[in-house]
């Protein structure tokens, strides 16, 4: 039996190259060796208030982008979280086993609650419990994520362990899988901050559907430093981040890249970077346009996938309910 991979992505804002390099490329590769389940997590999205129409449209856009990036709906399952009610129900059960102290340690909550001070919902605080439910419902072994989600996956594992130690083996213990390079792509406007799809500043992120001109303009404006050498030096966050993006899109070694730009200036490098990003995204953008030409196509894939995902989720939920004494 192949091991199970599960991961999720929020349909908030436009997917950007941080999502692509930190997570989506891994989702695609893992399909060769694992049984993969990928989820568009709209219940997580509403932890921060969303425009209802936009949320629904974004869920389809994210599905289209995942398909365009290479998720094969015949081999993998790709569904919308709220289509399977077991996610909310298991989240409630896990809520009753996760100590407040564990949640209070979550760095992402601290960051998000500082940013959305006026509307910090209980759901935002509880976000990791829902994420644990997502993962545990599918007997997940491996969770491919970027660096920012590692702490949440560890919490899911701790919650599973705690539940199992009280009620006996119920949940499989998941492990995070973080790429060696690209796990934390930084903002182009401020390379000390993680690139984020919810950040709206125009020079911050390259969106997967950005046209070539926009990509070029954003890269040419990206923050670097006052030095000259083009080297992978993590103490120079701006140029280091751009070089990392170049490395991941070109698939060339760091040594080769440094040799190529020896003696060249930042603007030559940025022009070359813009070209590899534009060419790297071109096939994805073309496939996306083809896939979305028929709007019913995506919905039929989502319905079929949810039907395939549901039996596993319901079986695991039934077991947890029985163990706790519900019903």
Report the distance separating Cα 96 and Cα 52, nearest Å: 30
- The binding track of 196-215 with respect to ligand TYM, each residue x by CB under 6 A or -, is --------------------
Strand ranges in 98-244 using DSSP code E only, listed in sequence order: 142-144, 175-177
| CA atoms lying within 13 Å on the CB side of residue 74 | 0
* Strand pairing category for 4-9 and 35-40: parallel
Among 90, 91, 131, 320, binds ligand TYM (CB under 6 A): 131
In total, the chain counts a number of residues equal to 327
Q: Which residue lies nearer to ligand TYM by CB, 4 or 261?
A: 4
* Strand pairing category for 77-80 and 175-177: unpaired
Contacts with ligand TYM by CB under 6 A: the residue count is 25
Task: Supply angle C-alpha 214, 218, 222, rounded to 5.
Answer: 170
Q: Considering 112, 115, 255, 270, which one is annotated as catalytic?
A: 112
Report the distance separating Cα 234 and Cα 211, nearest Å: 29
Candidate ranges 182-190, 248-256, 303-311, 317-325; the one touching ligand TYM (CB under 6 A): 182-190
Among 185, 298, 313, 316, binds ligand TYM (CB under 6 A): 185
Q: Considering 3, 56, 150, 194, which one is annotated as catalytic?
A: 194
Q: Please check whether residue 144 is in contact with residue 26, taking contact to mean a CB–CB distance below 8 angstroms.
A: yes
Among 59, 149, 244, 305, binds ligand TYM (CB under 6 A): 149
Among 19, 82, 139, 250, binds ligand TYM (CB under 6 A): 19
Q: How far is the CB of 174 from ligand TYM (least distance, A)?
A: 8
Closest CA to 215 of 270, 161, 255, 256: 270
User: What residues between 28 and 47 interact with ligand TYM by CB under 6 A?
Assistant: 41, 44
- Does 194 bind ligand TYM (CB under 6 A)? Our answer is yes
Q: How far is the CB of 188 from ligand TYM (least distance, A)?
A: 11
Considering only CA atoms, give the Rg of the chain: 21
Task: Supply angle C-alpha 106, 148, 6, rounded to 5.
Answer: 100
- Does 146 bind ligand TYM (CB under 6 A)? Our answer is yes
Q: Which residue lies nearer to ligand TYM by CB, 127 or 288?
A: 127
- Give 232: exposed, middle or buried? Use CB within 10 Å, 0-12, 13-18, 19+: middle
- Does 160 bind ligand TYM (CB under 6 A)? Our answer is no
Tell me which residues are annotated as active site. 112, 194, 197
Instruction: Catalog residues that contact ligand TYM under the rule CB under 6 A.
Output: 6-10, 18-19, 22-23, 41, 44, 131, 134-135, 143, 145-146, 148-149, 152, 183-185, 194-195
């Amino acid at each position: 039996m192949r091991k199970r991979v599960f991961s999720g992505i929020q349909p908030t804002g436009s997917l950007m190259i941080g999502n692509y390099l930190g997570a989506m490329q891994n989702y695609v590769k893992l399909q060769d060796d694992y049984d993969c389940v990928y989820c568009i997590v709209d219940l997580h999205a509403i932890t921060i208030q969303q425009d209802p129409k936009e949320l629904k449209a974004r869920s389809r856009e994210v599905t289209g982008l995942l398909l365009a990036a290479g998720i094969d709906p015949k081999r993998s399952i790709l569904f919308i979280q709220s289509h399977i009610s077991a996610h909310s129900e298991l989240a409630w059960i896990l809520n009753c086993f996760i100590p407040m102290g564990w949640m209070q340690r979550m760095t992402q909550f601290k960051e998000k609650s500082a940013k959305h001070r006026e509307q910090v919902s209980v759901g935002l605080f509880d976000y990791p419990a829902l994420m644990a439910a997502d993962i545990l419902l599918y007997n997940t072994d491996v969770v491919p994520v970027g660096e920012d989600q590692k702490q949440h996956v560890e919490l899911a594992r701790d919650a599973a362990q705690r539940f199992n130690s009280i009620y006996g083996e119920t949940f499989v213990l998941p492990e995070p899988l973080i790429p060696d390079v690209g796990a934390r792509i930084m903002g182009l406007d401020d390379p000390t901050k993680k690139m984020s799809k919810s950040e709206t500043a125009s020079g911050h992120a390259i969106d997967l559907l950005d046209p070539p001109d926009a990509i070029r303009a954003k890269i040419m404006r990206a923050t670097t430093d006052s030095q000259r050498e083009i080297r992978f030096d993590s103490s120079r966050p701006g140029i280091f981040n751009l070089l990392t993006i170049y490395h991941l899109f070109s698939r060339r070694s760091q040594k080769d890249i440094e040799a190529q730009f020896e003696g060249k200036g930042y603007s030559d490098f940025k022009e070359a970077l813009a070209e590899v990003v534009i060419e790297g995204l071109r096939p994805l953008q073309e496939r996306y346009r083809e896939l979305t030409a028929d709007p019913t196509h995506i919905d039929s894939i989502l319905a079929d996938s949810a039907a395939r995902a549901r039996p596993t989720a319901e079986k695991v939920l039934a077991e947890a309910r029985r163990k706790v004494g519900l019903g």
